[in-house]
Amino acid sequence: MLARAKPEFAIPEVCRNFVNGQWVISSVRLPVINPVDEQVLTEIAEADTGLVDEAVRAARLTFEQGVWSKLGLEDRQKVLFRIADLIDEHADELAWLESMNIGSPLSQCRGRHVPRAAYNFRFFAEYISQSRSDAYTQLENYLSVVTREPVGVAALIGPWNAPIALTSMKIAAALAFGNSCVVKPSEISPLTAVRMVELIRDSGVPDGVVNLVNGSGTVTGAALASHPDIDVLSFTGGTTTGRAIMSAAGKNLTPVTLELGGKSANIIFDDADFDRALDGALISIFSNNGQQCLAGSRILLQEGIAEKFMDAFIQRTRNLKIGDPLLPETEVGPLATKQHFERVHSFVDTLEADGCKLLVGGKRCSGFDKGFYYEPTAVLAPDNSAVVCQEEIFGPFAAFQLFKTPQEAWDIANDSKFGLLGYVWTSSYATAMAAHETVKSGVLCINSPIIRELRAPFGGYKESGVGRESGAACEAFYSEVKTTAFLTGDVPLRKLGLGEA
């Protein structure tokens, strides 16, 4: 096993809160468990209602003072670019922290998650320089100008499965449009958020503009979501939690964006490029240890290639390198928590009643005395009503189904309470266009695993979320539209109250 200590990197003994430029300790501590050895990795100092209120008030004060909200666009750009540069400079450290915290392979954290975080800040720095305003002159004697202003204080609640990539997207967007914010990372994975906030401070963002509160969803998250002085709230996580957050925010009429769960169909036709579709299916379900909302967890196979594809998929699955996520050859690491491990395994208990056949996996990995290691798993389901085809498992757990016709594939794909992503593999332009017109998902990938184009909206249909994230979607969410009408000509006004008949 690779030694897990890294003398050049440090894990804080306690993940503190960052409020108005000061690191703040609280008395309530929650342990953060290392998913590899099940030992306490660090603790978080939980922010209670009072500390959350202090963080919101600090964000409000800085917003009203204009230390960031009224800063010139070019000056804001320079800071955002500096944040990106600092993330790049500390990429090895951030990737190590992320891997230690959530068990995702270090190669994936270093190759995808951390570069994406830096790119988020660069993207929005560039985006704001291209923003434009509208002017209307059609109404005679008037010029109507449409401008945008920062909305105020943003509550940003990040997920545990890819914390640096997804939480940085929210921070970058909120800052780009001039807002102050309060960030709450997941209590499961606080390490990279804490370090990123340190880098944001070092970049020159004024104290109080970015605040961080740690804690559980039931305490810290609830206090933040229900706070009356939050102007907008963005959350990425599970659908059940999303409902609770939307309900709490709704009492204050706080606008929300919610990126929630998925049960994406990965549809593979007989005429697909077999090897590419196989690679794509493995990537879509086993990347990040299967802990991703965009996983292609329902693999729909046209009957002509079904047996060959499943055989190849099972063989490749058995060959996956499972181990310490810090090892460069590791492809799948442990699940993030014991509770999540038990939840993933619980779906095996549903297979017999639903008539599903276990093809590979379905149990704890052998050879590991410690750690939440779960075998990459695949089952064959008789139809889409099986629990493993309807519920988001959020682990390395694929469910195969067979279909004959394109229409049958579309019907299966759309028979879900989720609608985040869809994947289609075919060499037929007509089939690809039919998928585009028929599959009910916020994002659809043709002959490719997920690709995130930040200029294009990302979000889901149905229970997969509310709202979208992208350059334009974030601009609309994190800013207010103002229309100002200027009188440009002589327009007589009615004279009231003169007493004339």
Torsion of CA 99, 220, 395, 296, to 10 degrees: -100
**Per-residue pLDDT at 191:** 98
pLDDT confidence bin for 499, thresholds 50/70/90: confident
Average pLDDT over all residues of the chain: 96
pLDDT exceeds cutoff 70 at 500: no
Torsion of CA 395, 464, 119, 322, to 10 degrees: 0
**Per-residue pLDDT at 4:** 64
Between CA 371 and CA 307 the distance in angstroms is: 34
pLDDT exceeds cutoff 70 at 5: no
> Average pLDDT, stretch 448-462?
94
* 259 has catalytic annotation: yes
> Average pLDDT, stretch 369-394?
98
> Average pLDDT, stretch 146-171?
98
Q: Which of 111, 7, 92, 4 is nearest to 327 (CA)?
A: 4
Sheet holding 210-212, edge to edge: 22-24, 17-19, 210-212, 180-184, 153-157, 232-236, 256-259, 465-466
* pLDDT tens per residue across span 303-348: 999 999 999 999 999 999 999 999 999 999 999 999 999 999 999 9
Between CA 21 and CA 61 the distance in angstroms is: 13
In sequence order, the 6+-apart residues with CB closer than 8 A to the CB of 92 are 9, 110
* pLDDT tens per residue across span 65-88: 999 999 999 999 999 999 999 999
Between CA 169 and CA 121 the distance in angstroms is: 7
**Per-residue pLDDT at 3:** 44
Active-site entry in 15, 293, 356, 445: 293
181: exposed, middle or buried (Cβ count in 10 Å: 0-12, 13-18, 19+):
buried
* 293 has catalytic annotation: yes
Pairing state of beta strands 40-45 and 134-136? unpaired
pLDDT confidence bin for 501, thresholds 50/70/90: low
* pLDDT tens per residue across span 192-237: 999 999 999 999 999 999 999 999 999 999 999 999 999 999 999 9
pLDDT exceeds cutoff 60 at 491: yes
**Per-residue pLDDT at 6:** 77
pLDDT exceeds cutoff 90 at 1: no
Percentage with pLDDT > 70 across the chain: 99
How much is the pTM?
0.96
Between CA 197 and CA 190 the distance in angstroms is: 11
Active-site entry in 43, 259, 331, 475: 259
Percentage with pLDDT > 90 across the chain: 97
